[in-house]
Amino acid sequence: MAQIKVFYEPETELLSVFWQAPRKGQICTELGDGIILIKDEASGQPIGLEVLSYRPGDDRFDTVSVELGQGSSMQLAS
């Protein structure tokens, strides 16, 4: 089963989400609106993202949708 790791640093208002382990060889691409995509440098495969200036209740997120297996999903309201 895949694990998602979420880190929130209130002092710096940084939310980091990784669905693969962070690596030394990673590159970041800004997607806009303070969203940073983190990719493996060698493969270009996305491994996580960061949200800058994040605070709980951030209006950039209405809900978080989590897919569990085939066809199953769960939504978490923020």
Going from N- to C-terminal start, the domains of the chain cover 5-77
Q: What is the pTM of this model?
A: 0.72
Measured CA to CA, the distance from residue 15 to residue 55 in angstroms comes to 8
Over the stretch 18-68, which tens digit does the pLDDT of each residue have? 999 988 999 999 998 899 999 999 999 999 999 999 888 887 776 655 555
Contacts 24+ apart (CB under 8 A), 35-38: 35/60
Q: Hey, what's the torsion of the CAs at 9, 56, 27, 38, to 10 degrees?
A: 130
Structure tokens, 27: 């590159």
Comparison of pLDDT for 17 and 58, the residue scoring more: 17
Report CA Rg, the chain: 13
